[in-house]
Amino acid sequence: MLSNEKLKEAERNIRQYLSEGLIKKEQLRKIVFETYLRNHRESLLVARKLFNEQISPLWVVVISYYSMFYIANALLYKIGYKIGPKVAHKVTSDALIVFVRNKLKDHLIENYEIASTEALIISDNLLQNYNFEKEKRSVFQYESTEEIKMAKAKTSLERAEEFSKEIEQMIG
């Protein structure tokens, strides 16, 4: 579960991002929304191909994360928030916690008929996986063996596919 400290930090950050214009309320424009979805789907497709053909574990991790980033931004955009270009990855991460966490929990309850507490745990795990992949992308290149790299690439791809599945269902 996300800690109360992390939740409060994300809320503080979002207030600051809104005041600085790093995230803005914006009316949905179909071309922007569809671009996010297209970039997400292409990224996931390329990550699967690179993994299946064992071409580059590094790029599987990077592209898997980007598939998550694009679908997260599609959802945020659909609910009325456009992330700006500055520190976009951190802003997206915090915006998911503040604006999507409870919607994701409700989606899980509705679609899987699970208890509220369990849905919140799953929701938080999906959001934490997003953060894990954001961090992994920046440190991955220093892993030593190909076996470790392939294992981490597999985890990244699985997380991206799970995240994608739930967020795409929420988008509709």
- The superfamily in CATH containing domain 4-171 is Nucleotidyltransferases  domain 2 (1.20.120.330)
The pLDDT score that the predictor gives to residue 138 is 75
CA distance 172 to 163: 14
70-115 pLDDT, tens digit each: 999 999 999 999 999 999 999 999 999 999 999 999 999 999 998 9
Contacts of 69 (CB under 8 A, 6+ apart): 89, 92, 134
Structure tokens given for 139: 């440190």
The pLDDT score that the predictor gives to residue 85 is 95
CA distance 41 to 9: 31
CA distance 121 to 138: 26
Q: List the chain domain ranges.
A: 4-171
Mean pLDDT, the chain, as a whole number?
Answer: 94
- Assess whether pLDDT exceeds 70 at residue 143: no
The pLDDT score that the predictor gives to residue 4 is 96
